């Protein structure tokens, strides 16, 4: 079974984080919500508090297939500043493992130099942080081991693309159909 970790910071965009968790769980993909705050209660950018499964420091990430970063402000900046996450993202990138980020969160990967020569997308206005990347104007783009998406309105497409990467097109189509999603066109 594929194993995914999604990182929650205070100020994360709730729809971008929880849509990924919900749809991957529907696809029987093991996804763990990880708090980087030192507290399992994480408050999103719209004051919705979620209970993370674990704290960052409680996890051995060697079994992970994918790491996911939701956007939102100031959540993206909080992800960017976390030293342990910084090291983990760089290790995953060096090993060619899958990284995914939505909305403003591709900034984190860009500032860390992990998007060089990749096609990526992000929430408009964050392009300057995507150092060395080719920015494309699509809802979701996967280039090699990196998947990026524009924002809250693309959260379902983003989630389905992650399912496709981990379990194939048929599973992504099955989940799209089960939630009556008509716009899946990746």
| Catalytic sites, residue numbers | 103
What is the DSSP annotation of 30-64?
EEEEEESSSSSEEE-TTS-EEE-SEEGGG--GGG-
SS3 67: strand
Q: Residue 14: which residues within 8 A CB-CB, separation 6 or more? A: 44, 45, 46, 48, 50, 72
Contacts (Cβ under 8 Å, ≥6 apart) of 156: 19, 23, 176, 179, 181, 183, 184
C-alpha to C-alpha distance for 20 and 17, rounded to whole angstroms: 6
């Amino acid at each position: 079974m594929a194993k995914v970790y999604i990182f929650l910071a205070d100020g994360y965009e709730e729809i971008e984080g929880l849509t990924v968790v919900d749809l991957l769980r529907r696809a029987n993909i093991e996804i763990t919500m990880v708090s980087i705050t030192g507290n399992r209660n994480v408050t999103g950018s719209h004051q919705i508090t979620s209970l993370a499964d674990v704290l960052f420091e409680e996890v051995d990430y060697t079994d992970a297939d994918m790491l996911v970063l939701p956007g939102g402000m100031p959540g993206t900046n909080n992800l960017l500043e976390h030293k342990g996450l910084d090291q983990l993202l760089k290790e995953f990138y060096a090993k060619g493992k899958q990284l995914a980020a939505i909305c403003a969160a591709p900034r984190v990967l860009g500032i860390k130099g992990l998007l060089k020569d990749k096609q990526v997308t992000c929430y408009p206005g964050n392009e300057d942080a995507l150092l060395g990347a080719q920015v494309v104007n699509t809802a979701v783009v996967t280039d090699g081991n990196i998947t990026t998406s524009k924002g809250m309105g693309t959260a379902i497409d983003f989630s389905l693309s992650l399912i496709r990467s981990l379990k194939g097109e048929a599973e992504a189509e099955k989940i799209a159909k089960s939630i009556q999603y008509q716009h899946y066109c990746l």
